[in-house]
Amino acid sequence: MARLTDAVSIVTGAGRGIGKAIASRYAREGAVVVLADIDQALGEKLAQELIEAGGRAVFQQSDLANLSSIDRLVESTCSSYGRIDVLVNNAAVTKSLGFFEVTEGDWDWIHNVNSKGLFFCMQSAARVMQTQGGGRIVNIASIAGKGYPATSNVSYAGSKGAVIAMTRIAASSLAGDNINVNAICPGVTRTDLYYEVMRGKVRSSGKSEEEIMAALDASIPIGRSNEPDDIADLAVFLASAEARNVTGQSWNVDGGLMWD
């Protein structure tokens, strides 16, 4: 039985990686999925794939660093479907940088999308959920936000720490409106972004990509890194009726790397 039947769901950063996996699972679980991504070609391609597979999906080009774009995304969704049941805040950016390599430009680029954009998307969707009697927000954070030392860079870790903190405050602020807010903290996850970071580590370390990936997997207690579907599994649960009393939590999906 489908777990998200007719749930109007926005998934940001839906064109690839974790966002694509979540959007695809939501469509299979019966949701109406609004695919938000800055890359028009990827978003339109995924929308077509989901429709051909029998799902309901529409693409909305969106830049999460632009507040006007966020407002258009929410307004368009409400205009088309009359409500927003689920928001998955997944859009994020990063690159491999040493501590002394992070510039002000890097900092602003990362935080404008990962923390500022995420907050205002959450705020805009929550206004709609408040008027309709409730909803679910799933923020994609990272174990980097809990101090995982092998993160791509310190600015990225700071942005994801902000996501975890904002999730807790939002859950408390919105509980009276029947809006559940939770975060998922992926560990090492094999996405396009993961491979981009790996290439950066290859350049800085002199090791091969295979050596770095093998070392990363060896550092994980369970012995394997995530696939995007591992994150999508939890994202379905948190959006479903089964999680009606779960809010303010930050769930690690990392094979045992972190314990808080």
Do 113 and 70 meet the contact criterion of CB atoms below 8 Å apart?
no
Instruction: Please report, as a single letter, which amino acid is at residue 169.
Output: I
**Total structural domains in the chain?**
1
Residue 110 resides in a domain: yes
pLDDT at 26: 98
Looking at 31-177, list the stretches that DSSP marks H as alpha helix, in order from N- to C-terminal side: 40-52, 67-81, 104-111, 118-132, 154-174
Q: Is 56 inside any structural domain?
A: yes
Q: Three-class SS of residue 192?
A: helix
Q: What pLDDT is stored for residue 196 in this prediction?
A: 76
Domain CATH for 233: 3.40.50.720
Q: Which residues are designated catalytic?
A: 156
Residue 116: the pLDDT is 98
For residues 206 and 107, what is the distance between their CA atoms, to the nearest angstrom? 26
46 Cβ contact partners less than 8 Å away, ≥ 6 residues apart: 14, 15, 20, 23, 24, 35, 57, 59
Q: What is the mean pLDDT of each run of 10 residues along the chain (260 residues)?
A: 94 97 98 98 98 98 97 98 98 94 98 98 98 98 96 96 98 98 95 76 79 85 94 98 98 95
In a domain, 158, yes or no: yes
pLDDT for 213 equals 79
| pLDDT, position 62 | 97
In a domain? residue 139:
yes
- Structural domain that includes position 102: 8-189+227-253
Model pTM score: 0.93
User: Rounded distance, CA 233 to CA 24, Å?
Assistant: 11
* Gap between the Cα atoms of 57 and 24, Å rounded: 9
